[in-house]
A and B are shown apart, each in its own frame.
Chain A
């Protein structure tokens, strides 16, 4: 983990050498916060939540709305972004915590899209399709954040803190329980855990991180816009987790974010029809490398130790545990 922090610490210096730019690094960290939080839900609890992009967007809107119409400033809107998104997530989680598998996915998709429509309907506050622009980046503790570099390290601080917090969550008893839920929810319930409550908590937590990331993103772009809330962007974060190996490793999402954003920049310069390549990439990853890069690495290095428990269970019994 320290290595990763070290890499990101020095990244702004390295990036121009490899054809990147500081803002890309900032974006990577922001999405990494989102993806790491989301992976709590996806990779660790095994809950197929789709449509999480909506919460990312909501975070941005909470920050933007509160900065523009309500309080102004930096810290309070950010806090509102986190708490507001977590609250929305808590409400949705109440409705979906008792479901699993396909039904769960279906509902999360529906709610995700619903929130993005809500943004359009509340157009007078949210700026509708054009988004809410004119945000500022007030100084944080006396440091002017308007420059890319300063903002990079601002986000870096959050990145470090988020990673550490998530790491602790995953390594805690709570983390053990959600891992148990992933392996077999029935068994977890049989042992006496109220799995619905844990699922609710994980969902809400992941939304809190999504809100943080979304708020930071709005600050980065000086505005909150509806397109991160689209289904396609929700698909993006899932792909990010998957490519990097979210099912297999804690750091998978971070790697996945980096790979994804680099590829995105690359593809969009190559052709107008990049969406075709993107869709094909999606399909290829699912078919041939669902455990992601880090999963592949793990499998090659320690064939005996690696196994996707859900797959093993499914292979043994012929259906889902």
Chain B
């Protein structure tokens, strides 16, 4: 039986993981909701964020990378959007395939530039080392991650809910014909959304970099949880993404205690269970996407 310290550690790990998943899934969902594009390259954008931290770190420090990487990755996102444009309004498979191809190509670019070996990115100096509280030793950095993630999620929420631009994004996701009819520049909106989604993935990459080893394949590993979170939480729901992310992270962390190798499968089991119970996801709304 795992002892209390282990349990709490895994729970905290679950929260950290869950918040990261939520951020990644949120970016993914913005693109999904507004453009109905399954952005397969989302994982690679996450990886790019991490590698940007690696590359920029020596020059501007980790905090500098935290601010710059989303800009860079967001830029890549804008470029991707230019290509995806041609697939709007057609079979959703086209957008998916385009981003799939982009994911493969970008991953290979990463491999060409940085090679296939793993890198470690070090956390900023003032949060290195463990955080001691009673019987609990926890990584200070991860505590910082939680704080950063909460702030970031709050900012995104405020943007979507409280700014006119956020309202346009939500409207565009719901009814893009009407949005155009109202005179809103849909093209620019879409570019912004893609950039924002990519930037979120990039930020998550920077944040995650010190925690995990940086390899070209982390992109492919990061994209599936995003899918699962969106399915669990429901397409188009901000709270759904956060709840879904936390749920996924927590189950993953807890299952690490019990069934170390099967934690990924547990994710899918969770997804299946939730789908059976709530076919639209926990907080999904009925949409054109189902009968």
Report A's interface with B, CB cutoff 8 A: 42, 46, 48, 50, 95, 98-107, 109-110, 113-114, 117-118, 121, 185, 189, 195-196, 231-232, 235, 238-239, 242, 273, 275-276, 278-283, 286-287, 290, 310-311, 314-315, 318-320
Interface residues of B in 101-128 (CB under 8 A from A): 101-109, 111-112
Which A-chain residue is minimally distant from B291 (CB atoms)? A98
Residues of B within 8 A of A189 (CB): 291
- Shortest Cβ gap from B212 to chain A (Å): 19
Residues of A within 8 A of B92 (CB): 48, 101-102, 105
Question: Does B94 have its Cβ within 8 Å of any Cβ on chain A?
Answer: yes
Question: Does B89 have its Cβ within 8 Å of any Cβ on chain A?
Answer: yes
CB atoms of B101 and A121 under 8 A apart: no
Residues of A within 8 A of B94 (CB): 286, 290
Residues of B within 8 A of A118 (CB): 265
Residues of A within 8 A of B271 (CB): 110, 114
Which A-chain residue is minimally distant from B177 (CB atoms)? A318
- Shortest Cβ gap from A321 to chain B (Å): 10
Residues of B within 8 A of A107 (CB): 231, 275
CB atoms of A282 and B104 under 8 A apart: yes
CB atoms of B104 and A279 under 8 A apart: yes
Residues of B within 8 A of A314 (CB): 89-90
Within the complex, which residue of A117, A195, A231 is in contact with B268, where a contact is CB–CB below 8 Å?
A117
Report B's interface with A, CB cutoff 8 A: 32, 36-38, 83, 86-87, 89-94, 96-98, 100-109, 111-112, 176-177, 220, 224, 227-228, 230-231, 235, 261-262, 264-265, 268, 271-272, 275-276, 279, 287-291
Residues of A within 8 A of B105 (CB): 275-276, 278-280, 282-283
- Shortest Cβ gap from A252 to chain B (Å): 14
CB atoms of A275 and B107 under 8 A apart: yes
Within the complex, which residue of B93, B101, B279 is in contact with A48, where a contact is CB–CB below 8 Å?
B93
Q: Given A110-B224, A276-B108, A276-B112, do A238 and B93 touch, yes or no (CB 8 Å)? A: yes
CB atoms of A273 and B111 under 8 A apart: yes
Residues of A within 8 A of B176 (CB): 319
Residues of A within 8 A of B112 (CB): 273, 276
Question: In the complex, A111 Cα to B143 Cα: how many Å?
Answer: 34
Residues of B within 8 A of A287 (CB): 83, 86, 98
- Shortest Cβ gap from B111 to chain A (Å): 7
- Shortest Cβ gap from A5 to chain B (Å): 30
Question: In the complex, A242 Cα to B271 Cα: how many Å?
Answer: 30
CB atoms of A50 and B104 under 8 A apart: no
CB atoms of B231 and A110 under 8 A apart: yes
- 6 nearest CB pairs, A to B: A282-B101, A279-B105, A279-B104, A48-B93, A276-B108, A114-B268
Residues of B within 8 A of A102 (CB): 32, 36-38, 92, 235, 289
- Shortest Cβ gap from A118 to chain B (Å): 7
Residues of B within 8 A of A278 (CB): 101, 104-105
Residues of B within 8 A of A311 (CB): 89-90
Question: In the complex, A95 Cα to B278 Cα: how many Å?
Answer: 11
Residues of A within 8 A of B98 (CB): 282-283, 286-287
- Shortest Cβ gap from A266 to chain B (Å): 17
Residues of A within 8 A of B272 (CB): 95, 114
Residues of A within 8 A of B291 (CB): 98-100, 185, 189, 195-196
Q: A105-B38, A318-B89 are in contact. List 8 more A-B contacts (CB 8 A).
A: A100-B290, A102-B235, A114-B271, A118-B265, A242-B97, A273-B108, A275-B107, A282-B101
Question: In the complex, A196 Cα to B290 Cα: how many Å?
Answer: 10
Question: In the complex, A252 Cα to B177 Cα: how many Å?
Answer: 34
Residues of B within 8 A of A50 (CB): 93, 96
CB atoms of A279 and B90 under 8 A apart: no
Residues of A within 8 A of B224 (CB): 110, 113
Question: In the complex, A315 Cα to B21 Cα: how many Å?
Answer: 37
Residues of A within 8 A of B93 (CB): 42, 48, 50, 105, 238
CB atoms of B235 and A114 under 8 A apart: no
Within the complex, which residue of A98, A282, A319 is in contact with B97, where a contact is CB–CB below 8 Å?
A282
CB atoms of A320 and B288 under 8 A apart: yes
CB atoms of A320 and B261 under 8 A apart: no
CB atoms of B97 and A239 under 8 A apart: yes
Question: In the complex, A254 Cα to B5 Cα: how many Å?
Answer: 58
Q: Given A48-B91, A110-B271, A310-B91, do A275 and B108 touch, yes or no (CB 8 Å)? A: yes
Q: Given A48-B92, A102-B36, A278-B104, do A117 and B97 touch, yes or no (CB 8 Å)? A: no
Question: In the complex, A102 Cα to B40 Cα: how many Å?
Answer: 12
CB atoms of B97 and A279 under 8 A apart: no
Residues of B within 8 A of A242 (CB): 97
